[in-house]
Amino acid sequence: MKGVVMDSPVLDLRQLHDPRIPDTSLEALGKPAERRALRYANPADREEFMAGRVALLYFAASLLDVDPTRLVPDYRCPRCGPGQDHGRPGFMLDGGPAPLALSASRASGWVLLAGVVHAPEELRLGVDLESTGKATFEGFDGVALTAAEKRFLSSIPDQERDSQRARLWARKEAWLKMTGEGLRRNPAGLDVLDLPGLRDVTERALPDGLVAALALG
Ligand SMILES: CC(C)(COP(=O)(O)OP(=O)(O)OC[C@H]1O[C@@H](n2cnc3c(N)ncnc32)[C@H](O)[C@@H]1OP(=O)(O)O)[C@@H](O)C(=O)NCCC(=O)NCCS
């Protein structure tokens, strides 16, 4: 078992077409993921979804130092319960919940993975990866930001605003994955400038045009 300091999750960033992400049958991803994969109309979207799931499966297996075939995905949604095709990622190991807190995010052909081994059951983790070019849209500030976040944006130089918007959005999604709510919660009511346990991912270099955030609580 790899030693992991509880409050410093292991992070891994991979390209979704990385040859280190093995070709794995849909079956290994579990029935709910198989059903979701088959619903994608665009084959490229299906492949990215599967590659992200496979990357997380192998990442979890390496953190636990077990063969990936021993892990059975079990995604839990706070609304729909266990065994879903969506929600918080998790795995069963030999019939019981694998002792892991996990989170994952895909953007622009990359997947960011985060995990804590032997996390206390209540530990929650959220990561989000965003492309600075794609995170925002016309009217974004109005629907996504709090008054304090808008003031922050108006206090910085124009040319930094788009990357800061993406950074704020990554923080919101990381936090909402950590709580499990996702975008069921109104992001414009969640101020992420200074929340305990929430931070930008700075410990590893990200490719140009990507920002990431991590929430632990
Ligand atoms: C969580 C959410 C904000 C992430 O969306 P995104 O930016 O499009 O995608 P990302 O690649 O960054 O993250 C997706 C990953 O977040 C994780 N995730 C999804 N929902 C999650 C939740 N409720 N709690 C924690 N993690 C969650 C999964 O690992 C998912 O990976 P998958 O696509 O392989 O299933 C968005 O999916 C959401 O708001 N979901 C809640 C609403 C919902 O799921 N409704 C469905 C029926 S209840």
Answer yes or no: do 14 and 118 share one domain.
yes
Instruction: Provide the pLDDT for residue 7.
Output: 57
Q: Is the CB of 177 under 6 A from ligand 1?
A: yes
Q: Please tell me the distance from the alpha carbon of residue 152 to that of residue 155, in angstroms, as a whole number.
A: 5
Nearest residue to 20 via CA among 48, 58, 50, 49: 58
CATH number at residue 74: 3.90.470.20
Q: Three-state DSSP class for 200?
A: strand
Q: Which domain holds residue 191?
A: 129-216
Tell me the C-alpha to C-alpha distance, in Å, between residue 198 and each of 9, 21, 94, 171, 215. Answer: 13, 29, 33, 7, 4
Which protein residue has the closest C-alpha to ligand 1 atom 37?
Answer: 182
Ligand 1 centroid from CA 114, angstroms: 14
Instruction: Provide the pLDDT for residue 203.
Output: 84
How many domains is the chain built from?
Answer: 2
Half-sphere exposure (Cβ direction) of 102: Cα atoms closer than 13 Å: 30
Does residue 59 sit within a domain?
yes
Answer yes or no: do 76 and 181 share one domain.
no
pLDDT tens for each residue of the chain, 217 residues long: 343 444 589 999 999 988 777 778 888 899 999 999 999 999 999 999 999 999 999 999 999 999 999 999 999 998 999 999 999 999 999 999 999 999 999 999 999 999 999 988 889 999 999 999 877 788 999 999 999 999 999 999 999 999 999 999 999 999 999 999 989 899 999 999 999 999 999 987 899 999 999 999 9
Q: Is the CB of 183 under 6 A from ligand 1?
A: yes
